[in-house]
A and B are shown apart, each in its own frame.
Chain A
Amino acid sequence: MTAPGFKIENPRFEQFLSRGTREGVRVKTGIVELDEMLRGGFMEGDSVLLAGSAGSGKTTLALQYLVNGITQFGEPGVYVTFEELPDQIYRDARNLGWDLRSLEEANKFKLVCTSPNLLLESGAENILDEVIKELPAKRIAIDSLSHLGMYVEENQLRQEAYRLVRHLKTRELSSLLLWEVHQTGGSSFTVAEVGLSFLVDCIVLLKFVEIESSIKKALVIMKMRGSDHDKRLREYEITSHGVNVSAPFTHYEGIMTGAPRRSITEETANSWALAFGKNKQKHS
C-alpha cells in the first residue's frame, strides 16, 4: 500500500485490504441460457431473490446453482433449509443426477437444516459461520425467507432479511434467497408487498402461465442492480438434469397479467389484410 510519503509492506495487511468482491466478476449459474439472460451471470457477492410459487422449481434451480458452482467453477456452496424433511433434498437431488452426499464428503458442499427462529436468534453468525468458513463457501442458498416470515411480524421481516443479506455480503457470499409466492395465476407478486425487493440486488421470478389451455413455466429477471439483463419472459422446464431454459414467449403478450393473448405479428397482420382484401373483392 502506498500513498504520497507513506508505504506499508505487510502481506497480511495487503491481503486484508484486498478483501471484498471483485468488480465486474460474474457468478455463473451454469445454465447457459440463464447466464445469457443475466449477461454472463449474477454479479459476485450479490443477493438474489428467487421467487416462485410451490412446484415452480425454486429448490431445483437453487441446488443446480450450487452444484454447478462446485463442479464447473470450483466454488463450494452451502444450502440452508428450514424444511421439515431435508433428507428428501438428498433424494430429489440424486434423481436429478447430483450426489450431494459425495460433495459433502469432499468438503465442497454442506446442507444445513435448522429452524428459522434459531437463525434469527443467532443473527446467522454462530449457526452458519462455522460451515461457511470450513468449506470455505462462495455460494449460499437459503430455503426460504418465507419460513423466516412465519416467526416475525411483517415489518420485522424486512429488518431480519436486511440483517441476513448484510451478513452474507460481509462474508463475500453470492446468495440465492428463496421466496414463496402464493398466487399461481394473475399478476400478484408479494415480494413488493412485504418490501423485500429493495433489499436484494436481483430478482428472478418463476411463474406458472396458461397458454392455450396448458400450464407452462415462465422465468423472468425483474431486477438486476448495476447490470443490463434480458427483460423477456422465457419458458423453462424441469428435466431429469435440472432446469432447462428455452425460448422467449415471442408470440404472446400479457403473460404477467395472467390473461395472455397472441400478439399480432407482421405475418398475421399480412394474412388478415390479404383475407380482408379477398373478402372485399368477393363482395364488390
Chain B
Amino acid sequence: MSATQILSTLLASEVRGDLLILFHKNPGLIDTIDGVARRIGRTAASIGSDVIELVNLGVLKQRKIGSSEVIFLDRRRDREVLESVASHFRTAKQGGEN
C-alpha cells in the first residue's frame, strides 16, 4: 500500500482521527470496541467500520479474550505507518522545493 493510500485511509473520517488520537495518547490501551467507543464518546455501532479499516491497515490489532473481542495498538506497525507517511511528506516537500 502506498503512503498516499495509507494517508487517505487514516484521514477518511473523524472517527478514525479520534481513534488514532486515543491510541497514540494511550498506547497501552486494550479494550472492547464498546469500551473504546465509550472512551471517545461514541457508540460501538458508530465506530465498527472504522475499527475494521484500521485493523486492515495493521495499525490496530484484534484479539479474542474470553468471550470478548478486544482491540489494541500494534506499536511496531504503527511506527512503520508513521515513518512511511513522514517519508512521503519529506519527499513531497523536497519535490515542491525543486
Contact = CB atoms under 8 A, between A and B. Distances in A.
8 contacts: A84-B39, A86-B26, A113-B26, A118-B70, A121-B68, A122-B65, A126-B65, A131-B28
B8 interface: no
B32 interface: yes
A188 interface: no
A-B pairs, top 10 by smallest CB distance, nearest first, are A121-B66, A87-B25, A112-B28, A111-B28, A114-B30, A122-B65, A113-B29, A86-B26, A126-B65, A115-B35
A111 B30 CA distance: 11
A103 interface: no
Contacts, number: 48
Interface of B: 25-32, 35, 39, 63, 65-68, 70
A12 to B, nearest CB: 29
Contact of A118 (B25, B27, B32): B32
Nearest to B34: A115
Contacts of A110: 28
A31 interface: no
Contact of B31 (A90, A118, A121): A118
A33 interface: no
Nearest to B65: A122
Contacts of B27: 104, 111
Contacts of A126: 63, 65
Interface in A109-157: 110-115, 117-118, 121-122, 126-127, 131
A159 B39 CA distance: 29
Contact of A127 (B25, B30, B67): B30
Contacts of B66: 118, 121-122
Contacts of B70: 114, 118, 127
B73 to A, nearest CB: 11
Contacts of B29: 86, 113-114
Contacts of A84: 39
A222 B28 CA distance: 33
Given A118-B30, A126-B63, 16 more contacts: A86-B28, A86-B29, A112-B30, A113-B31, A114-B29, A114-B30, A115-B32, A117-B68, A118-B35, A118-B66, A118-B68, A121-B67, A121-B68, A122-B66, A127-B30, A131-B28
Interface in A63-118: 84, 86-87, 90, 104, 110-115, 117-118
Contacts of B31: 113-115, 118
Contacts of B30: 112-114, 118, 127
B87 to A, nearest CB: 20
A86 B28 CA distance: 9
A25 B41 CA distance: 47
A70 to B, nearest CB: 16
Contacts of B65: 118, 121-122, 126-127
A220 B2 CA distance: 59
Nearest to B38: A84
